[in-house]
Structure 1
């Protein structure tokens, strides 16, 4: 028996997760991704720049912005996940994507706490944690792309997409 693929294209709540064919999750994930990538750049720069305290301080707050952004992205992403039929490959990939993102968010929250008040360049421990978390986020992002581009989760069907190519 095949699950209805159209079910995963429709939002559980259009008001909360975005209308058909235009989900909110993809735009919200840009906040934590951008903040966390920038935080690692600041971390690395704190080891070579003239004012490591300022860069370490900036990295710490970029991590906090990323965690808050991840919570917003996770909220609407979870609504999208609920639309995927259980027992399907898309559901398993969605569950892995969700789990990895949860682990990454927890890792960055711990990283924020571990850093404390900046005093010089970012210590190696938090720096390594950030890099590992960012690598894990990359794997999870790949899986999220597979959900959208391979399985069409929350993507409009082809007949709707064709409207954009009519003259």
Structure 2
């Protein structure tokens, strides 16, 4: 069993049944491995959650790097909307919701700080670039919330192409 398959099982369990259902035994059962097989990769539930968060960070870093853009902010915008439209951001809500210990979120806070400050000094308008990156964070937040009838202002999938293009038009 590969580490990513175990993380997928944990994320699926969280998405389907919530934080209270996340136990090592339940993850092992969902992944179809023994608890010992799971413990080989993740010694504790906190280690499992940390693994999910580390994977989120690596995944977004890879999305940014894969964009064919010379401007970091443009790559950041493109990566944000790839993540939003592919459903990858659902992982963010699931994994961060499982982090009962705030210390587990330190790597994510550090990554966010890095993403929000990376190469700002080299961009033509660093303040505007920062605003665009913060707007992307708002898109992340909107995309990971469960839609309700009481949330009419929440953007929907059909809104994302226009939002992406407008944000891209702000940075060169």
Question: So what's the TM-score if we normalise by structure 1?
Answer: 0.33
Question: So what's the TM-score if we normalise by structure 2?
Answer: 0.32
Bigger RCO (CA 8 Å, 6+ sep) = 1
Structure with greater Cα Rg: 1
